[in-house]
Chain A
Amino acid sequence: MYAPRCRPRLRPLPAIILLRFLFFPSHRRNPRLPRIPLRSPAEKLVGALLNAAVFVALVTAVTFLLVLLYYYNFTGFLKAYMRFSAFFVLASMGGSILISFLRRFSLPLDAPSALLLIFNFSVIGFLSVFSNAVPILVRQSYMVALAIIVAAWFTKLPEWTTWILLVALAIYDLAAVLCPRGPLRILLNLASSRDEELPALIYESRPTISLVSSERGRDQPESSWSDLSSSLGFSEQDNELESTRGIRLGLGDFIFYSVLVGRAAMYDLMTVYACFIAILSGLGFTLILLSIYRHALPALPISITLGVVFYFLTRLVLEPFVVGASMSLVMF
């Protein structure tokens, strides 16, 4: 039963993708990059597979470390580490992006103001990760900003590595969440058995609030109680506000969706549109599955599969057709 009031508003996903594409447009032939010697496809493939294998191994190891720390109740350390990493990413990687911006457009911003702005930006991000006193909108915006910054840096990976990495991570995600011994599954079971929230960087859509009034007298088995209360002339109504949890999406998923679209942006605008639609429909399909299965599901596999398939179809099949047809003035 899917309650209709739980309408998840995942507007930031298009926002991220749009922002990412607008701010970091495609540079197909960047004259500033040094010429690297061309390697054969076989070498590139082997290199990419090695890179992806190392990355997935590292991710698995770190996730198991996380499980261990959470199992032994080092939750305070985990939260502190996540705050520190959010601060560091915003300050160093976000700061680098700002510096590149200033250089590229030659904006005459002075150093003290720039440093003050970066410092403020990072500290409020640091506070917004786990604090209660920050508005939900600000917290969501910071999650989006973190995802954009990390994805922007991820696009500096070489192309073959990026694609093989995305596919490898989708498979890893599937295994880690659905296998009974998968690290993420263990983490989620631990958290739910302790009935507390996982300390994690998660984007949560705004929970919905509704007013539920329940008459206390109803729970009493004896009818005499309710007779007594009605005879006394007051009805005890418990006006409680009930909130349902929002839809949650891990920040890693956001980042890899953005990496996919970013890499598509480095080819052509057509691939961007194709991948954008593919990812959103994959996400929608995952949400449908979520409402059927009612437990945590991996968000990466369906979207990444659709995204990769659509990227290669667009690049290899659609683009030559459309460009050829328009240049010959046949269609479009």
Chain B
Amino acid sequence: MERGREPDADVESQTVGSSNRLIRSADTSGGGGTAGSGHSAVWPTVDGALGLSEERSLEYARSFFLRGFCLLPFLWAVNCFYFWPVLRNRSCTSFDLIRPYVVRSAICFLIFIILLSSWVLTFALGGERLFGPVWKELVMYNVANKLGLPGWM
């Protein structure tokens, strides 16, 4: 296990004097030069001003939603979590492009969770009575033993 791949051992300083200014100034989304309107802009991501802007978040929302169909349902969960303000604010019109993807991700993730939990519970509680000898072939620790997968202890 090489340690060198992670350049470690730096606790970097917070350079207060040369703090990074965010790329966008907050009043461009509001339009106009009126003071004070900038900081009331609603950010589409749960990270707020540290997250993505609205334009860039559309492509990410779409790509996460589509990639979730490649056996990656937890990408839908990440999508929902990340764009939680989009789900909450139904009134804000600027999110109308992102919202369909986030809502669809939420629905697909709910469906997946229902299917997964029902299958796992059936498997765990039914046991051999329900499945017969196939149960022993399917359960993870037997599969790991058969394939010789190493355990940690």
Measuring CB to CB, which residues of chain A are less than 8 angstroms from any residue of chain B?
A: 1-3, 6, 24, 58-63, 65-66, 81-82, 85, 93, 95-97, 99-100, 102-104, 106-114, 116, 119-121, 123-124, 127, 132-136, 138, 150, 152-154, 169, 173, 176-177, 184, 187-188, 198, 200-202, 206-207, 209, 211, 213, 234-253, 255, 286-287, 290-291, 293-300
CA distance A89 to B64 in the complex (A): 23
Q: Which of the residues A113, A123, A135 comes within 8 Å of B119, measured between beta carbons?
A: A113
Q: Given A109-B139, A135-B45, A207-B50, are A177 and B152 also a contact pair (CB < 8 Å)?
A: no
Q: Which residues of A contact B5 (CB under 8 A)?
A: 62, 66, 81-82, 85, 201
Assess the A111–B151 pair: CB atoms within 8 A: no
Whether B14 lies near A244 (C-beta < 8 A) is yes
Q: Which residues of A contact B49 (CB under 8 A)?
A: 209, 241, 243
Beyond A63-B7, A237-B36, 12 additional pairs, beta carbon < 8 A: A3-B14, A62-B4, A108-B127, A120-B74, A133-B64, A135-B47, A209-B49, A241-B25, A243-B22, A245-B14, A252-B8, A297-B11
Interface-centre pick from A3, A100, A241 (highest chain B CB count, 10 A): A241
Contacts of B127 in A (CB 8 A): 108
- Tell whether, in the assembled complex, residue A243 and residue B19 are in contact, meaning their CB atoms are under 8 Å apart: yes
Determine which of A114, A124, A154 lies in contact with B75 in the assembled complex, contact meaning CB atoms within 8 Å: A124
Q: Which A residues touch B8, using CB under 8 A?
A: 173, 184, 250-253, 255, 299-300
Which of A95, A103, A255, A287 makes the CB contact (< 8 A) with B141? A103
Question: In the complex, what residue of chain B is closest to A289 when comparing beta carbons?
Answer: B11
- Interface pair A248/B50, CB less than 8 Å apart: no
Per a CB cutoff under 8 Å, which of B13, B45, B47, B57 touches A293? B13
A239 CA / B78 CA spacing, docked (Å): 31
Q: What separation, in Å, do the CA atoms of A295 and B12 have in the docked complex?
A: 6
Do residues A184 and B4 form an inter-chain contact, with CB atoms below 8 A?
Answer: no
The reply to whether A6 and B9 contact each other, CB–CB distance below 8 Å, is no
- Within 121-147 of B, Cβ neighbours of A (below 8 Å) are at 123-124, 127, 138-141, 143-144
Q: Which interface residue of A173, A207, A295 has the most chain B CB atoms within 10 A?
A: A207
Whether B19 contacts A287 by the Cβ 8 Å rule is no
What is the CA–CA distance of A47 and B1 in the complex, to the nearest angstrom? 19
Q: What are 24 residue pairs bridging A and B, where the CB atoms are less than 8 Å apart in the complex?
A: A1-B16, A61-B4, A96-B150, A102-B141, A108-B123, A114-B140, A119-B71, A133-B60, A150-B1, A153-B152, A154-B1, A184-B10, A200-B6, A200-B7, A209-B22, A242-B20, A242-B22, A243-B49, A244-B16, A250-B7, A252-B7, A291-B13, A295-B13, A296-B12
- Main SS of chain A's interface residues? helix
Q: Is B35 an interface residue (CB 8 A)?
A: yes
* Nearest chain A residue, comparing its CB with the CB of B70: A123
A65 touches B1 (CB 8 A): no
**Could you tell me the distance in whole angstroms from the C-beta of A23 to the nearest C-beta in chain B?**
10
List A contacts of B101 (CB < 8 A): none
A-side contacts of B64, CB under 8 Å: 133
Tell me if B90 is interfacial: C-beta within 8 Å of chain A: no
Judging by beta carbons under 8 Å apart, are A239 and B15 in contact? no
8 Å CB contact of A66 from B4, B13, B38: B4
A97 and B152 form a contact (CB under 8 A): yes
Q: Which residue of chain A lies nearest to B64 when distances are taken between CB atoms in the complex? A: A133
Residues of A within 8 A of B95 (CB): none
Tell me if B10 and A110 are in contact (CB < 8 A): no
The yes or no answer to B114 lying at the interface (CB within 8 A) is no
Say yes or no: A58 contacts B4, CB within 8 Å.
yes
Partner of B152, one of A152, A206, A234: A152
Within the complex, what minimum Cβ distance (angstroms) separates A100 from chain B?
Answer: 4
Once the chains bind, are A135 and B46 in contact (CB under 8 Å)? yes
- B3 interface residue (CB < 8 Å to A): yes
B139 touches A206 (CB 8 A): no
Residue numbers in A under 8 Å from B72 (CB-CB):
119-120, 123-124
Identify A240's interface contact among B21, B35, B47, B139, CB under 8 A. Answer: B21
Query: Closest chain B residue to A111 by CB distance?
Result: B143
Complex CA–CA separation, A177 to B152 (angstroms) = 33
Other-chain contact of A108, B12, B46, B139 (Cβ < 8 Å): B139
Which residues of the partner chain A approach B31 to less than 8 Å between Cβ atoms? none
Complex interface: chain B residues within 8 A of A240 (CB) = 21-22, 25-26
Complex CA distance for A240 and B8, rounded to whole angstroms: 33
- Nearest B residue to A212 via CB reads B21
Separation of A1 and B12 alpha carbons in the complex (Å): 16
List of B residues within 8 angstroms of A61 by Cβ: 4
